Amino acid sequence: MQIEDKISMHAFMEFIEMNGHAAFIWSSYGIVIFVLIWLFIVGVQFQTKSETKLSQLNPRPRHRSGVRSERKTGKQNEA
């Protein structure tokens, strides 16, 4: 291993270890990022679910969900 590699490896390990407080720092960042992504997914799922429900109830095309509702009702008519 080259000396520079050793130094950079050492710096990297130092960064990961965070001076002995690694567990506290990385877990708090991990929790925040995980929870924020989870909440975002919940929001997107809620939007899709309620817009699909609306397009099934309401055959008239309206704004965004209108495009989808036209397609959906078309399928229903074929069936």
Partner 1 sequence: MLNRFANPIRFLRLADQIQPWAAILTLVLFAAGLYFALFNSPPDYQQGETVRIMYIHVPSAWMALFCYTLLAITSGVAMIWKHPLANLAGRATAPIGATFTFLALITGSIWGKPMWGTWWVWDARLTSMFILFFLYLGYIALQDAFDNAEGGSKAAAILALVGFINVPIIKFSVDWWNTLHQPASVIKFSGPAIHSTMLTPLLLTALAFKGYYVWLFLINMRGEIAEARCRALQVSQIQNAQVAKVATSDARDAHAD
Residues that bind partner 1 (CB under 8 A): 15, 18-19, 21, 24-25, 27-29, 31-32, 35-36, 39-40, 42-44, 46-47, 49-51, 53-54, 57-58, 62-65
CB of 77 to partner 1, least distance (A): 19
Of the two residues 40 and 71, which places its CB atom closer to partner 1 in the complex?
40
CB of 53 to partner 1, least distance (A): 5
Q: What is the DSSP string of 63-79?
A: HHHHHHHHHHHHHHHH-
3-state secondary structure 8-51: HHHHHHHHHHHHHCHHHHHHHHHHHHHHHHHHHHHHHHHHHHHH
